[in-house]
Amino acid sequence: PLWIRGHKYYPLSGIEGFIQYGKASWYGPKFHGRKTSSGEIYDMHGNTAAHRTLPLGTYVQVTNLNNGRQVVVRINDRGPFVKNRIIDLSYGAARQIGLVGPGFAKVKLVILGKEVGSWDSPTGPSPIIRVPNIRHGAFAVQVGAFTKKESAFSIADRLKVLFQYVEVVPIEAQGETNGPIYRVRVSNVKTLGEANKIKEKLKRIGFDEAFVVSL
């Protein structure tokens, strides 16, 4: 558990469909180059964030409710340590949604999924969630998550030209929301290596936030 000002916070185990509203802030130069709670070195220019209870390695879509701008971050640290804040964004992520100047803003957090390891980059940074002996199983590559059903199916139709198995998965969200979240995935992937190749192909055609999930 994480202790903050006398309060104990336990990491969440079930995060499917999790949505949270509250205030976000950011942290930057003072912590740049220091170790995060995950053991990674904090890069203020990356797209990462600190959260009190979400599992490390969770991908979160953050929407600035003041201007509608969005960014996808990966949870690799614990915090915030200030009352009435739900997430601390890296400088790089905060800049993308117009948070640096004001210092904080009301945001909406939507959980997209959790990171799995990569077999294609053995010399790169260690993955947050390690799968050291799993090469085969059930994997998918998540392309995006949408609140509008039409947008999700439009993206899926585009991807069906390139991939045989594309699915739209509706998830009933927890918390304040007007309906389900629609996740678009390239599915029926049998190996982690194949999933990583699909992810790289998606990034080459403009889906920069695509990531691999283990099913």
> What was the pLDDT predicted at 120?
36
What integer pLDDT is reported at residue 87 of this predicted model? 95
Q: Return the higher-pLDDT residue of 74 and 11.
A: 74
Contact 156, 168 (CB under 8 A): yes
Mean pLDDT of 108-113: 84
Share of the chain above pLDDT 90, in %: 34
CA pair distance 57, 42, nearest whole angstrom: 14
| Beta pairing partners, 84 | none
* Tally of helices (H runs) and strands (E runs) in the chain: 3, 12
Q: What average pLDDT does this structure show over 111-140? A: 50
92 has pLDDT over 50: yes
CA dist., res. 68 & res. 107, Å (int):
9
Q: Kindly list the structural domains of the chain, giving each domain's residue range(s) and its CATH number in brackets, ordered by start.
A: 2-113 (2.40.40.10), 115-214 (3.30.70.1070)
Q: How confident is the model at residue 215 (pLDDT cuts 50, 70, 90)?
A: low
